Structure 1
Amino acid sequence: MSRLCRSARWLLTGLLVLLAAVPAAQAHESRPAYMEIRETAAGQYTVLWRTPVLAGRRLLVVPRFPEGVRNLRAPVVQELSDSQLERRWIDAGPEGLDGARIEFAGLQLSITDVVVRVHLLDGRSWMAIARPSQPWVEMVAASGGWATFSDFLRQGFAHILSGPDHLLFVFGLLLLVRRRWMLVKTVTAFTIAHSITLAVATLGYVQLPAPPIEAAIALSILFLGLEVLRARRGGTSFTIRHPWVAAFAFGLLHGFGFAGALSAAGLPPTAVPLALVSFNIGVEFGQLAFVAVVLLLARSLSALTLRWPRPVQLLPAYAVGSLGAFWMIQRLLSV
Structure 2
Amino acid sequence: MTALVRLLVAALLALFALPAQADELRPGYLELTQRDAQHWKVVWKAPVLGGLATRTRPAFPPFCTQSAPQARIEGAALVAESTLTCSKDLAGSKVGLAGMDAAFTDALLRVAPLGRPVQASRLTPTAAMVEVSTVPDRWEVARSYFWLGVEHILTGYDHLLFVIALVLLLLRPWTVVRAATAFTVAHSLTLIGTTLGLIGLAQAPVEALIALSIIFLAVEIVKQDPAHPRLSERLPWLVAFGFGLIHGFGFAGALREIGLPEGDVPVALLTFNLGVEAGQLLIIAAVIAALAVLKRFAQPALRTAVLAASYAIGITASFWFIQRLVG
Please, what TM-score do these two structures have when normalized by structure 2? 0.83
- Tell me by how many angstroms 1:320 deviates: 0.7
Matched residue, 1:279:
272
Q: Deviations over 1:263-289 (max 9, x none)?
A: 344334531112222221121111112
Residue number in structure 2 paired with 1:14:
11
Larger deviation, residues 283-292 vs 97-106? 97-106
Deviation at 1:172, TM superposition (A): 0.4
Alpha-carbon distance between aligned partners in 2 of 1:13 and 1:210, rounded to the nearest angstrom: 34
Given that residues 261 and 268 in structure 2 are in contact (C-alpha distance below 8 angstroms), is that contact kept between their aligned partners in structure 1? no
* Deviation for aligned residue 1:13: 5.0
Q: CA deviation at 1:124?
A: 4.7
SS of match in other structure, 1:77? strand
Q: Paired residue for 2:243?
A: 250
Whether the aligned pair in 2 keeps the contact of 1:102 and 1:136 (CA below 8 Å) is: yes
What does 1:1-335 correspond to in 2, within 5 Å? 11=8, 13-17=10-14, 19-20=16-17, 22-25=18-21, 27-52=22-47, 57=49, 60-61=52-53, 62-66=56-60, 67=62, 69-72=64-67, 74-92=68-86, 94-95=87-88, 97-105=90-98, 107-110=100-103, 112-141=105-134, 143-231=136-224, 237-308=230-301, 314-334=307-327
Give 1:141 shift: 4.1
How far apart, in 2, do the equivalents of 1:9 and 1:145 lie?
49
Q: Deviations over 1:94-133 (max 9, x none)?
A: 1254433234245445554312212223445322221233
Conserved? CA contact 2:92–2:131, under 8 Å: yes
> Contact conserved, 2:96 with 2:109, CA < 8 A, in 1?
no
CA distance in 2, matches of 1:124, 1:312: 53
Displacement, 1:251? 0.8
- Structure 2 unaligned runs (5+)? none
Contact 2:149 2:274 in 1 (8 A): yes
Q: 1:126–1:141: 8 Å Cα contact kept in structure 2?
A: no
Change (3 A) 1:268 1:153: closer
Structure 1 contact 172–224 (Cα < 8 Å) conserved = yes
Tell me how far apart the structure 2 counterparts of residues 234 and 110 of structure 1 sit (CA, whole Å): 52
Deviations 1:1-20 (A, max 9, x none): xxxxxx99983653444643
Counterpart CA distance in 2 for 1:224 and 1:9 is 24
Counterpart code for 2:24: E
Contact 2:295 2:302 in 1 (8 A): no
- Residue type of the partner of 1:262? L
Give the C-alpha shift of residue 244 in structure 1: 2.1
Deviations for 1:226-245, whole angstroms, at most 9, x for unmatched residues?
Answer: 22222269876433432222
Aligned length: 321
Q: TM-score when scaled to structure 1?
A: 0.82
Q: Give the match's secondary structure for 2:260.
A: coil
How many percent of aligned residue pairs carry the same amino acid? 38
Taking the aligned partners of 2:299 and 2:118, their CA distance within structure 1 comes to: 61
